[in-house]
Every structure is written in C-alpha cells, then in structure tokens.
A and B are shown apart, each in its own frame.
Chain A
Amino acid sequence: MSPFQLPESDLSRARDEAATCIGVDELGPNLHLLTLEAATASRAALPGEFAQLQVEPGPLLRRPFSFCDLDPGRGTVSFYLRVYGEGTRRLAHLTPGSTVRLLGPLGRGFSLPETRASSLLVAGGVGAAPFPHLATQLLARGERVHWLNGAAGSDQLFPLRRMPGGLAGSVQVTDDGSSGRRGLVTDALPELLGGVDRVYACGPNPMLQAVSEMAARLRPEALVEVSIEAPMGCGFGTCLGCSIPLRFRGAPVPGLCCRQGPVLGADQVDWEALRRQPAHLE
C-alpha cells in the first residue's frame, strides 16, 4: 500500500511568505477575486497548483485555494473565492494593506502538452478558479483553448472578461438558463469533445466524474485531467487528513490530495470509492 508509487508534488518550491492584500473584487453573490502581493509565488506557481492561506484573526488551520491568475511583473497573485465558512469569509473581507501568510506553491498542477494540442477547459462554479492561469499558459504556447463554463445562475458564472483573450471558443451554461444555455456542463460537453486532445476539468466531484466518464466514452484518445478537493490540514503531506481513493496500475491505493493531487489523471481516481466518501466535513 505504499502511497509513494504515484508522482508527488515538489515541496522544494514551496515558500511561506507574508502577502499583502491589494484588493478584493466582488464578482457575484459570495464570490470574490482576492489579489495579493506575493512576489515569490507570482513567479513560481504553475497552473493547477494551490496555496495555503492563513488570516489572523481567523481559523487555526490554513485554507487551500488554487492559484487563479498571476502577474509576475507586478508580483501579484489572485484567488477566486466562494465564501463558505469563517476562513473564506475573512479572506473576502480583507482590506488593502492587510497581510496574510501564503504557503505555496503546493500540490501537483496540470500537465502541459508537449506537442501541439487542442484543449478543452471545463469549469463548474468556483471550479473556474485555476483556469485563467492555465489558459494563459496554454495560449502563450500557441495552443487552441476552448472554454466551457457552468454555474447555477448568471451571477455565479466566472466572468468571461476575466479570462485571457484569444480563446478558440467559449460556451457558458447555467442551471436556470439565466445566461448562456440552460443545463449542466455535461449537456454541452459532447459536441465540444470533437477534435480535442486534452480535457482539463475542475468543479464538484460528481461533475468531474461525469466529465471523465463522458470523455472516456466519446473521446477516448483525449487525455483527461481533473482537479479534486479534499479537506486539508497541512497541504504538504504530513497530516494525512486529505486521503483520497486512487488507482495505481488498476489497483486501489490510498492517496493524498495535497501530494499526488489536486490535479490527477481521470484514470488515476477511484471514482466509485470517491462517490461514497462524504463531500465535506460539516
């Protein structure tokens, strides 16, 4: 059962730095874009990697958030936050000039294609978080990038204007039809899979499972990577709190979301076991 058979995050790049709040933009109900000055992380973080943020006063343990966008020139990083409990509420109410501790980059991010590829980025709700950074990196390499973004309603969609320019295509869906098409991301997915070499997905676990299964059926030649969530105590492999069920050479193995993930190949996840696992602590 050695959990060390799957590749693990590179902890040598992680730094614990004092980050200064530049501002918080409200993007929707309980949805905020937090921008921090964090020079080291702004140069180091790769798409899909995350940071552990600590606010004082605030909860004891840090909270994990995917790097949303980076500006290495200005030395800033941003996070797309959904207010859930005390930690996210305090982060959303930070005032410019206040400081938080930022530990990162942590985790394994998305793999970038080695040869020319056409990528489809699939986001559900706050799962849009890692995609501005990923799309920027893919576009800079001259890749074709398609964007499929879904949320409950129009005010909960990550704004298209916050994505980098140059997307080859973009489709928005909402559960209630208040913006774009009515339905779930999986309703729009089949028609977008044609010609795609890579599918990158982030959102609730049931959505990730559905996207993975659909892509495996309709576009088996595509590589599918998903960003998974688990409750985290540390973010760097010592608390063993973020256990997730994985598969290695077909056999089930316990993995750590913070070291082998959060981004995993769809075929590395034991989806049935994950489905039986309660989503959150509360």
Chain B
Amino acid sequence: MVIGRGLTLESPVGAASGTFGYGFEAERMGNLAGLGAIFTKGTTIEPRPGNAPPRIAEVPAGMLNSIGLQNPGVEVVATEYAPRWRGWAAKVIVNVAGSTIEDYVRVCRRLDRVPEVAGIELNISCPNIAHGLDLGVDPRAAAACTRAVRAVTEKAVIVKLTPNVTDIAEIGRAVQDGGADAVSAVNTYLGMKWSRARGKPVLPGTGTAGLSGPAIKPLAMAAVARLVAALTIPVIGIGGIASTDDARDFLELGARAIQIGTANFYLPGLAASCAAELRQDGGAA
C-alpha cells in the first residue's frame, strides 16, 4: 500500500492509536506478525498523566473512553521507545496531539530526526486552547495545522479526522490542500453513558467521552465513503472493525488501508490474523 511520501505498508492492516500502546505489549504477546503499521498512542510535547478514573465504560457493542492522552512525552518516545522499534516489519507511525499548532510543530520537528518513525498521524481532534477552538472542526485551523507540520518534516503526514462535524469531506479537502499525504477516519464519536443510580454520567467531567467499537462501524463507513468520493489522497478507514470481513468492507469501499482499534482489547490476535487472511485474498498489493 503506497500511502505517500515514501511511506509504503506491507499490509493494509494497522493498529489504531490508543489501542496498541507503542507496540511493545503486542510484541511480547506475539501479535505483531504481518501488520502493516502501528499507530502509537497520542504523543504530546510534555508527559501527560491522563484523566482521573474511571476512564472507560462499556455500552452496547462499544465502549466510551476518556483517557486524557496519557503518554510519556515525545522525548521519551524519541530516545527510549524508538530504538526498540528497529527491526520491526510493521511501520511505526507516531500519533501526535497537542493544544496549539505550535505544540504539534514542536513534536513533529523532534520526530523528524528519529529514523525509526515511519510517519506522523496528526490527531487534530483536541481542543485548541489558544483559540478556544477544536482544530479538527474548523477547516481553516485544520489546514493551518497541517501546513505548519508539513513545513517541518519530510515524513509522511496522515491527518486523522474527527467525525464530530457536519461535513467531514470539507475538513478532508482542507487538510489535503494543506499538504496531507493521506487522511485517516474516523476518530471516536462523542458519546455519554448515564448512571441512574448516581443521577449523573458514568464518566467524570462533562460526562462526554469517545465512543468506539462495532457500534460505530456503519457511521464510520458513511464518513469514509464521503472522504473517498471527495479526496484524491489515500483514505485510511477506521471504526468498529472486529473481523477480517469488516476490514474487507472498508477496503472495497475504497479505503487504501484500515486500522483496528477497540477490537485489539478483546481480540488481541485479530490484527495479525486479519493481515494474514487479507494476504491470502491477494489484498497485500
């Protein structure tokens, strides 16, 4: 699969950000075999401790999460984790998050100097503190962030889109114009679970959190269909993939590659078996 700017994947199957750590757990458990790419946990300039528990809640055919971008910071990723990726067949693409465009630029500038980083996935679904805006819901901000990152790295830049917008294709076109090599979609949908026993949402804060899992697959397919129709750059399909047939659905729809997310938690061998089965289809071009 050619994603762009020198990034080629051996298999269309990837593991989605936040569901695979930095790949080390799957390595220990023998579940890396045949994967095309690993998208790491969202990585920020500074270490983040994440949100107070509870952080996850189960809902029918899915889960809600509000992890709060817990990660060790880009410096630890660049100096301690990256050397351990040497020799892996799967490409490691670092998912980048931040509060301001300047944050994204600083993380990407640091990652640009790390040879083991095969590409960057920009998670632009974080609230932009400086402008009080969510970068991922404003086409101009999304394009500006993409352009700013494009200017500081030679690595492939994949922009990960939030589905919590009226017109995802509009955001897709904006980041394509901003220089994105590909887009990945979707990130989680905004959701909430209510606890009647407590008379408040199950998860703390505002109670809203990210919905993922098989429940979102039809929604994600609709979003990917709009992006495939609107864009010339590759689209990586994500959302509720829990079997090889689910992956085939996205690929037939026109996604160049796919990512498995929540299913990695309850089917830890799925990504590897999906990659093997698609290879038998002849899907690994």
Q: In B235-275, which residues have CB < 8 Å from any A CB?
A: 262, 264-266, 268-269
A254 within 8 A of B: yes
A140 within 8 A of B: no
- Measured between alpha carbons, how far is A198 from B54 in the docked complex, in Å? 32
B108 within 8 A of A: no
Which residues from chain A contact B57 at a C-beta distance below 8 Å? 231, 281
Evaluate whether A240 and B55 lie within 8 angstroms (CB atoms) in the complex, with A60-B213, A282-B202 already known.
yes
A-B contact count (CB 8 A): 99
* B29 and A277 form a contact (CB under 8 A): no
- Measured between alpha carbons, how far is A244 from B195 in the docked complex, in Å? 22
Which residues from chain B contact A14 at a C-beta distance below 8 Å? 29
- Measured between alpha carbons, how far is A281 from B269 in the docked complex, in Å? 27
Interface residues of A, dominant DSSP: loop
- Measured between alpha carbons, how far is A233 from B195 in the docked complex, in Å? 19
B72 within 8 A of A: yes
Q: Shortest CB–CB separation between residue B44 and chain A, in angstroms?
A: 12
* B266 and A61 form a contact (CB under 8 A): yes
The chain A residues found within 8 Å of chain B, CB to CB, are 1-4, 10-12, 14, 16, 52, 54, 59-62, 103, 230-231, 233-234, 236-241, 243-244, 254, 277-278, 280-282
- Measured between alpha carbons, how far is A1 from B262 in the docked complex, in Å? 26
- Measured between alpha carbons, how far is A59 from B49 in the docked complex, in Å? 29
Q: In B145-204, which residues have CB < 8 Å from any A CB?
A: 195, 197, 202
Evaluate whether A243 and B70 lie within 8 angstroms (CB atoms) in the complex, with A60-B61, A233-B63, A282-B197 already known.
yes
Evaluate whether A236 and B213 lie within 8 angstroms (CB atoms) in the complex, with A1-B47, A254-B70 already known.
no
- Measured between alpha carbons, how far is A54 from B270 in the docked complex, in Å? 14
Chain B 35-69 per-residue mask, 1 if CB under 8 angstroms from chain A, else 0: 00000010000010110111111100111010100
- Measured between alpha carbons, how far is A144 from B43 in the docked complex, in Å? 49
* B50 and A240 form a contact (CB under 8 A): yes
* A54 and B266 form a contact (CB under 8 A): yes
* B72 and A236 form a contact (CB under 8 A): no
Evaluate whether A11 and B28 lie within 8 angstroms (CB atoms) in the complex, with A62-B266, A241-B56, A243-B70 already known.
yes
B4 within 8 A of A: no
- Measured between alpha carbons, how far is A282 from B50 in the docked complex, in Å? 21
Of the candidates B47, B55, B213, B214, which one forms a contact with A241 in the assembled complex, judged by CB atoms under 8 Å apart? B55
Q: A11-B29, A12-B30 are in contact. List 15 more A-B contacts (CB 8 A).
A: A12-B29, A60-B61, A61-B63, A62-B265, A231-B57, A233-B63, A234-B264, A234-B268, A239-B56, A239-B65, A239-B67, A239-B265, A240-B18, A241-B56, A243-B55
> Closest A-chain residue to B57, C-beta based?
A281
Which residues from chain A contact B62 at a C-beta distance below 8 Å? 60
* A278 and B54 form a contact (CB under 8 A): yes
Chain B interface size range:
35 or more
B19 within 8 A of A: yes
11 contacts between A and B (CB under 8 A): A1-B49, A12-B30, A54-B266, A60-B58, A234-B266, A238-B20, A238-B26, A240-B55, A243-B70, A254-B70, A278-B54
Which residues from chain A contact B129 at a C-beta distance below 8 Å? none
> Closest B-chain residue to A16, C-beta based?
B269
Which residues from chain B contact A240 at a C-beta distance below 8 Å? 18, 41, 50, 55, 67, 70
Which residues from chain A contact B25 at a C-beta distance below 8 Å? 11, 236-238
- Measured between alpha carbons, how far is A216 from B47 in the docked complex, in Å? 34
- Measured between alpha carbons, how far is A4 from B24 in the docked complex, in Å? 12
* B70 and A238 form a contact (CB under 8 A): no
Of the candidates B29, B58, B67, B195, which one forms a contact with A61 in the assembled complex, judged by CB atoms under 8 Å apart? B58
> Closest A-chain residue to B264, C-beta based?
A238
Which residues from chain B contact A280 at a C-beta distance below 8 Å? 54
> Closest A-chain residue to B76, C-beta based?
A2
> Closest B-chain residue to A14, C-beta based?
B29
Scoring A60, A103, A278 by chain B CB atoms within 10 A of each residue's CB, the highest score goes to: A60
Q: Shortest CB–CB separation between residue B192 and chain A, in angstroms?
A: 13
Which residues from chain A contact B41 at a C-beta distance below 8 Å? 240
> Closest B-chain residue to A234, C-beta based?
B265
* A61 and B55 form a contact (CB under 8 A): no
Q: Shortest CB–CB separation between residue A238 and chain B, in angstroms?
A: 5
- Measured between alpha carbons, how far is A60 from B60 in the docked complex, in Å? 8
Of the candidates B19, B21, B53, B56, which one forms a contact with A278 in the assembled complex, judged by CB atoms under 8 Å apart? B53
Of the candidates A236, A254, A278, which one forms a contact with B268 in the assembled complex, judged by CB atoms under 8 Å apart? A236
